[in-house]
């Protein structure tokens, strides 16, 4: 008897990418890298300490504070994708 290949079944395969396509527009348009991230040059410029710490994966715990729309959540998602750190989004 042939052994079945391990991999996604029909239902898993059909659902791939569905969450991405059905995500809210803001989530789909959110920058995913430092090159796409615009603004906050005073802290995220290539030569600044925070950016270097993130790229070296040497970032301690950090809390962003600021007005809505200033890029806090986007920056947190970028940091999570660049580093090997655990990311727990909390909105307060």
Do residues 83 and 76 make contact, with C-beta atoms less than 8 angstroms apart? no
Higher pLDDT, 57 or 17: 57
62: which residues sit within 8 A by CB, 6+ positions away? 79
- Give 22-39 pLDDT, tens digit per residue: 888 888 899 999 889 888
Q: Give me the half-sphere count of Cα atoms (radius 13 Å) on the Cβ side of residue 12.
A: 4
pLDDT of residue 84: 85
For residue 73, tell me if it sits in a domain. yes
Give the pTM.
Answer: 0.69
Residue 4 scores a pLDDT above 80: no
In 3D space, the residue among 89, 17, 83, 24 whose CA is nearest the CA of residue 56 turns out to be 83
For residue 12, tell me if it sits in a domain. no
CATH number at residue 43: 3.40.50.300
- Give 41-72 pLDDT, tens digit per residue: 888 888 999 899 999 999 888 888 999 988 88
Range of the domain at 75: 31-87
For residue 15, tell me if it sits in a domain. no
Total domain count, the chain:
1
For residue 76, tell me if it sits in a domain. yes
């Amino acid at each position: 008897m042939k052994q079945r290949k391990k991999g996604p079944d029909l239902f898993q395969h059909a659902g791939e990418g569905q969450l991405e396509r059905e995500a809210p527009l803001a989530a789909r348009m959110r920058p995913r890298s430092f090159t796409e991230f615009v603004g906050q040059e005073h802290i995220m410029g290539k030569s600044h300490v925070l950016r270097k710490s993130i790229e070296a994966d040497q970032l301690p715990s950090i809390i962003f504070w600021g007005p809505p729309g200033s890029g806090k959540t986007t920056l947190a998602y970028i940091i999570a994708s660049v580093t090997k750190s655990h990311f727990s989004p909390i909105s307060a």
